[in-house]
């Protein structure tokens, strides 16, 4: 089983260590991790690099049985747009998507900060306007509805750090909670498949 | 020809007017606009609404011949994550994607603001660290590479308002520049198709 690890960890200074740690954890669950940070693109000129990274990430996603995406807020109240793109790609490709975040609060609370609902302007159509002049999504979800609903619709799960409605059970690290759920599901799906390979092998050897 | 209009305009107070204006413009190009703001979801309970919007947007994207996505910065230096998701979905579904933005500058400059490159920390692997503790993508692109490279790889175009390297030609509104390019391309593709329908019609009448 192969899992593509999407997320903004590639933008952290210690990206290589985070990737190594997560890949080791995947291995303990019998999962091969495909990680954007692993690409061997050293020889490329700068102007070719973006396209090469794009193609390598797309190829890894096509190879993956599952995508585990970190949706921790990135320079905004929401997930990073590269990860959001990859969630959309995976969902369209029929790949189950799992999500996790370090942020425990729903998107609405993260966006408005300490401002109470009563202090937000209500538009004639009922939507709530933030002080930044933009409407705040108010569905009680952890991030933009397209991201969270795609996880649900694909049969995936979403977990956060402790303290909110989506806290991983037993105080588990939310990435590991995704990994555990995804590996269990895919092992079950593999076991439930008709044993066509075994039959073919039997014919060949018999 | 049908175009799905993705973008953060749904989060603006005047979302309905923006949608109406863009749909009218589409009609002048012979394009039927499919817009997230058009859904008839009035009767739904709040807890069903997010899922219903998700499913309606996915259905509209599947119906669309092209996606035209607004990537204007949304509560961050980047596009809104819902639009990024939809770009990923469309690309995986084989739908050409066009993008536009009100921001003329590349992502790097938008992220670091007025800070010069010399004042950024260079990590041992060459990446540039912003004062926020996160690496800044530095490919000279208008947004996260996954978004921009997907537009290019799908054969689409990206245009911004005046003042930067991707300014729409002739001072055209960047949405209209996308619309013009997309409608031209799809009209050409339709004209280049073998005339199988005409032959069938001829047989029937002859």
Question: With bands split at pLDDT 50, 70 and 90, how would you rate the model's confidence at B190?
Answer: confident
Helix (H) or strand (E) holding B92: helix B81-92
Nearest beta carbon to residue B50 from set A81, A132, A145: A145
Q: Last residue of some domain: B121, B140, B159?
A: B140
Same domain, B98 and B112: no
Nearest beta carbon to residue B84 from set A54, A57, A81: A81
State the burial class of residue B169 (Cβ atoms within 10 Å of its Cβ: 0-12, 13-18, 19+). Answer: exposed
Residue A78 lies in a domain: yes
Same domain, B163 and B184: yes
Whether the predicted pLDDT of B205 surpasses 70: no
Tell me: the pLDDT tens digits for B12-33?
Answer: 999 999 999 999 999 999 999 9
Mutate to test the interface with B, among A13, A17, A145, A146 (most CBs of B within 10 A): A146
Number of domains, chain A? 1
Min Cα distance B180 → chain A (Å) is 25
Cβ contacts from A onto B, under 8 A: 167
Beta bridge partners of B122: B128
Chain A positions in Cβ-Cβ contact with residue B89 (cut-off 8 Å): 88-89, 91-92
Q: What is the pLDDT of residue A38?
A: 74
A77: nearest CA partner in chain B: B75
Same domain, B120 and B95: no
CB A175 within 8 A of CB A98: no
Euclidean distance between CA atoms B134 and B63, whole angstroms: 38
Chain A positions in Cβ-Cβ contact with residue B152 (cut-off 8 Å): 51
Residue A70 lies in a domain: yes
CATH number at residue A83: 3.40.50.450
- pLDDT over 90, % of chain B: 77
- Which ranges of A29-112 does DSSP label H, i.e. alpha helix? 46-63, 81-92, 107-112
Q: How many residues does this entry show for chain A? A: 206
- Which ranges of A69-161 does DSSP label H, i.e. alpha helix? 81-92, 107-112, 145-153
Contact (CB<8Å) A15/B135: yes
Q: How many CB atoms lie within 10 A of CB A152?
A: 16
CB A174 within 8 A of CB A98: no
Same domain, B151 and B130: no
CB A78 within 8 A of CB B77: no
What residues make up the domain containing A78?
Answer: 2-106+141-205
Chain A positions in Cβ-Cβ contact with residue B92 (cut-off 8 Å): 88-93
B135: nearest CA partner in chain A: A11
Tell me: the pLDDT tens digits for A110-160?
Answer: 999 988 888 899 999 889 999 899 999 999 999 999 999 999 999 999 999
Nearest beta carbon to residue B54 from set A123, A134, A146: A146
Q: Which stretches of chain A score pLDDT less than 50?
A: 198-206
Contact (CB<8Å) B86/A82: no
CB B134 within 8 A of CB A8: yes
Min Cα distance A142 → chain B (Å) is 12
Contact (CB<8Å) B86/A111: no
């Amino acid at each position: 089983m192969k899992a593509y690890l999407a997320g903004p960890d590639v933008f952290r200074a210690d990206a290589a260590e985070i990737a190594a740690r997560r890949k080791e954890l995947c291995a303990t669950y019998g999962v091969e991790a495909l990680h954007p940070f692993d690409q061997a693109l050293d020889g490329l000129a700068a102007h070719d690099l973006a396209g090469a990274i794009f193609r390598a990430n797309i190829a890894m996603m096509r190879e993956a049985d599952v995508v585990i995406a970190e949706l921790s807020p990135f320079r905004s109240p929401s997930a990073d747009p590269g990860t959001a793109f990859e969630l959309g790609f995976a969902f369209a490709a029929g790949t189950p998507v799992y999500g996790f975040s370090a942020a425990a609060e729903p998107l609405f609370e993260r966006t408005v900060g300490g401002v109470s609902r009563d202090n937000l302007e209500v538009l004639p159509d009922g939507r709530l306007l933030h002080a930044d002049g933009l409407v705040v999504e108010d569905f009680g979800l952890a991030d933009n509805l397209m991201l969270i609903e795609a996880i649900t619709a694909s049969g995936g799960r979403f977990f956060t750090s402790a303290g909110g409605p989506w806290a991983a059970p037993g105080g588990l690290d939310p990435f590991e909670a995704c990994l555990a759920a995804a590996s269990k599901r895919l092992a079950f799906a593999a076991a439930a498949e008709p044993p066509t390979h075994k039959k073919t092998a039997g014919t060949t050897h018999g």
